[in-house]
Structure 1
Amino acid sequence: MQTRLVGATGLRVSSLGLGTMTWGRGTDEHEARDQLIAFAEAGGTLVDTAAGYGDGASEELIGSLVGDVLARDEIVLATKAGISRRSGARRVDTSRGSLLRALDGSLKRLGTDHVDLWQVHAWCDDVPVEETLSALDLAVSSGRAAYVGISNYSGWQTAQAATWQRAVPSRTLLASTQMQYSLIAREVEYDVVPAAQALGLGIFAWSPLAGGVLTGKYRTGIPGDSRGASSDFGRRIETYLDDRGRGIVEAVCRAADGLGWSPLQVALVWVRDRPGVTAPILGARTCAQLQAALGVAELTLPPEIEAALDDVSAD
C-alpha cells in the first residue's frame, strides 16, 4: 500500500485508514484483532478512533491489541475529542479543559503516552475557536500529541482555524481535517477542499462508501444483517437511497462491470484519488469486507471512467 504525507507536514500515513467507530460495540475483540492484523499485513498504518466512540470502548479495545497484535511504532494512531454521549444525548464540548481531560482519558485507554494525530471532533459555537485551538497547542507542547487536526468543520470554520494557527509562529499548524466524502456526499468540494488545499491540510474521508450504499448491497432492498437494518445507521442509509443516490450506485455498478472490478473498488478508488485527499477511512463490519477494500491498493481508475462518475454524481 502506498503512503502519503498528511497535508504540508512530515507525517506519513497509509493511503487507506482503518476506522474503528463500532469497535467495542458491534465489533468484538476477535473481529477487531482480525481486522487489525489484515490491515497491517496489507501495509496499512493509519488507525483512527475517537474518545466518543462507544464512550471510550473503541479506544480501550485498540489499547488492548496494540503491543499484542503489533508494536505501537508500527501504526499511526489518531483519535478525536469534543463529542461525548455519556449523558445519553450527543454533547459537543470543545473547551480547553474538556478537550485536555478527554485527551488524558484517551491516552490511558489506548495505553500510550502520546497519539500521532489528535483531532477536534466537531465545531462548537459556544466556545471561542481560539480557546479550542489552544488545547491543540498544549497537547503538542506537552508531548501528548505529535500532530493535530480538525474534523467536521465547514469551509469557513476550516479557514478560520487554520489561519489562526498560522498567525503566530509559536502555534501548532493544523495537519488535517476529517470530513464525510464519497461519490454520494461531495459537498466538501465547494469549500472545505479548497480551504484545506490552500492552507496545507490533508483530508481524511470518512464514510467513503456512503455506509455501504456504494457497494451496491442496497440495490434491491435492505439486507437484515446490514448496517441499513440497524437502529444506529438505518436512518442515514435511507437518506442515500433517493433517486440521485440510486442513479450514482447504478453508474458505479456499470463501471465495475466494465472494468471487472467490484462496485466497492470503483467507489473507493474514486475518493482515494480525489485532489487533496490523504486517505479514506474504512469502517468495515467484518474482516472479509475490510480485505475486499484493501484490494484497491494497486488500482487506478481510467480517466474516462473517473470523468463519467464525476458527471453523474455532480449536484
Structure 2
Amino acid sequence: MEQRHLGRTGLRVSRIGLGTLTWGRDTGEHDAADQLKAFWEAGGTLIDTADVYGGGEAEYLLGQLVERLIPRHELVIATKAGSVADPYRRFDGSRGHLLAALDASLARLATDYVDLWQVHAFDPDTPLEETLQALDIAVSSGRARYVGVSNYCGWQLAKAATWQLAGAGGRARLASTQMEYSLLQRGVEREVLPAARDLGVGLLPSSPLGRGVLTGKYRQGVPADSRGASERLAAFVEPYLDEDAARVVEAVAIAADGLAATPLQVALAWVRDRPGVTAPIVGARDARQLTAALSVEALSLPDEIRRALDDVSAPVHRYPDQDWSTL
C-alpha cells in the first residue's frame, strides 16, 4: 500500500488507516486479529483507536494482538484522549487529565510510546495553551512521537496549529486533524481543510463511507443486520438516509458500474485522493469487509468521474465564502 507523509512531518503512514471503534465491544478478539493481519499483509500501517473506544477495551485488545502477531515497529499506532464519561462534562482537555489518560493508554496498549497522540475534541473550559502543553510534554518525554487533534472546527484548528508553530523549538507541531469527511459530509471543506493545508496539518477522515451509506447497502431499505437497524447506532446512520444522500449514493453506484468497481471503492477512492487528505480511517465488521475496502488501492478515479461526484455532492457555501462583490 502507498505510504504518505502525515502533514508537514517526517511520519509516513499507509494511505488507508484501520479504525477500531467497535473493537472490544462489537468486534471480538478473533475478528480483530483477522482484521489486523489482513491490514498488515496488505501493507497497512496506521491503526486508529482511542481511550474511550469500548471503555478502553479497544486499546487493550490492540495491545494484546500486536504483542502476539506483528512487530511493534512496523505499525503506526494512533490513539486519542480527552473524551470523558461524565454527565456534566463531555470533554476534558486539562493537562492533568490528558497526561493521566496517556499513561493509561500506554499501559493498555502494552507499549512505551504511541506514534500519534490526538486530543479527541476541543474543551471550551480549559485554556487551549494548557491542552497544547500536554502535547508538548508527551513528545518531550518520549511517550508520543507525533501529536494532533480531532473534531476541532476551523478557527480552533488554526489557533492551535499556529500556537504550536509560534514556539521557538519547544513546541510539537500538529501533525494531524481527524474529522468526518465523505461524499455525504463535506463540511470540512469550508474552513477546516483550508486551514489544515495552509498550516501543514494532515487530514485523517473518519466515516469516509458516509457511516456505511455510501456502500449502497441502504438503497432498497435498511438491512436487518446493518448499523442502521441497530438500537444503538440507528441514530448515527439516520441523518444520511434522506433524499439528498440518496441522490449522491445513486451517482456513486452509477460510477461504480461504469468502472467495474463497487460503490465502496468509488466512495473511498474519492475521499482518499482529495487534496489535503492523508489517510481515511476505515472500520469493518470482519476481515472480509476490510479486504473489500483495502481493494481500493488499485483504483484511481478518472477526472470526469471525480468531477461528476464533486458536482452531485457539492455543499451549499454562501456567505462568507461567496464573492459578494460580484453580485
TM range (shorter): over 0.9
Report the equivalent of 1:214.
214
Compared with structure 1, are the counterparts of its residues 88 and 72 closer, same or farther at alpha carbon in structure 2 (3 Å cutoff)? Answer: farther
Report the equivalent of 2:146.
147
Report the equivalent of 2:263.
263
- Give 1:236 deviation, angstroms: 1.8
Task: Return the alpha-carbon distance in structure 2 between the equivalents of residues 232 and 176 of structure 1.
Answer: 29
Report the equivalent of 1:174.
174
Report the equivalent of 1:16.
16
- Give 1:243 deviation, angstroms: 1.0
Report the equivalent of 1:117.
116
Q: Write the deviation string for residues 252-310 of structure 1: whole angstroms up to 9, x where unpaired.
A: 00000111000000000000000000000001112111000000112100000000000
Task: Return the alpha-carbon distance in structure 2 between the equivalents of residues 209 and 90 of structure 1.
Answer: 30
Report the equivalent of 2:53.
53
* Equivalence map 1:133-282=2 (5 Å): 133-169=132-168, 170-282=170-282
Task: Return the alpha-carbon distance in structure 2 between the equivalents of residues 84 and 262 of structure 1.
Answer: 38
Task: Return the alpha-carbon distance in structure 1 between the equivalents of residues 3 and 89 of structure 2.
Answer: 34
Q: Write the deviation string for residues 228-265 of structure 1: whole angstroms up to 9, x where unpaired.
A: 11223211211001111010000000000111000000
Task: Return the alpha-carbon distance in structure 1 between the equivalents of residues 180 and 33 of structure 2.
Answer: 26
Report the equivalent of 1:105.
104
Compared with structure 1, are the counterparts of its residues 88 and 220 closer, same or farther at alpha carbon in structure 2 (3 Å cutoff)? Answer: farther
Q: What letter corresponds to residue 168 of structure 1 in structure 2?
A: G
Report the equivalent of 1:29.
29
3-state SS of 2:279 partner: strand
Task: Return the alpha-carbon distance in structure 2 between the equivalents of residues 275 and 44 of structure 1.
Answer: 21
Task: Return the alpha-carbon distance in structure 1 between the equivalents of residues 24 and 252 of structure 2.
Answer: 32
3-state SS of 1:297 partner: helix
RMSD: 1.0
Moved over 4 A (4+): 87-90
Aligned residues: 314
Q: What letter corresponds to residue 6 of structure 2 in structure 1?
A: V
- Give 1:91 deviation, angstroms: 2.3
Report the equivalent of 2:318.
none
3-state SS of 2:280 partner: strand
Task: Return the alpha-carbon distance in structure 2 between the equivalents of residues 242 and 226 of structure 1.
Answer: 17
Q: What letter corresponds to residue 201 of structure 1 in structure 2?
A: V
Task: Return the alpha-carbon distance in structure 1 between the equivalents of residues 55 and 89 of structure 2.
Answer: 11
Report the equivalent of 1:91.
90
Runs of 5+ in structure 2 lacking a partner?
316-327
Runs of 5+ in structure 1 lacking a partner?
none
* Equivalence map 1:286-301=2 (5 Å): 286-301=286-301
CA contact 1:51–1:84 (8 Å) conserved in 2: no
- Give 1:210 deviation, angstroms: 1.0
- Give 1:84 deviation, angstroms: 2.4
3-state SS of 2:68 partner: coil
Q: What letter corresponds to residue 219 of structure 1 in structure 2?
A: R
CA contact 1:114–1:144 (8 Å) conserved in 2: yes
- Give 1:88 deviation, angstroms: 6.9
Report the equivalent of 2:41.
41
Task: Return the alpha-carbon distance in structure 2 between the equivalents of residues 255 and 206 of structure 1.
Answer: 23
3-state SS of 1:165 partner: helix
- TM-score normalised by length of structure 1: 0.98
CA contact 1:55–1:84 (8 Å) conserved in 2: no
Task: Return the alpha-carbon distance in structure 2 between the equivalents of residues 129 and 13 of structure 1.
Answer: 28
Compared with structure 1, are the counterparts of its residues 89 and 297 closer, same or farther at alpha carbon in structure 2 (3 Å cutoff)? Answer: farther
Q: Percent identity?
A: 63
3-state SS of 2:112 partner: coil
3-state SS of 1:123 partner: coil
Task: Return the alpha-carbon distance in structure 1 between the equivalents of residues 93 and 137 of structure 2.
Answer: 14
- Give 1:55 deviation, angstroms: 1.2
Q: What letter corresponds to residue 148 of structure 1 in structure 2?
A: V
CA contact 1:45–1:75 (8 Å) conserved in 2: yes
Report the equivalent of 2:320.
none
Q: Write the deviation string for residues 101-159 of structure 1: whole angstroms up to 9, x where unpaired.
A: 00000000000000000000000110110000000000000000000000000010000
- TM-score normalised by length of structure 2: 0.95
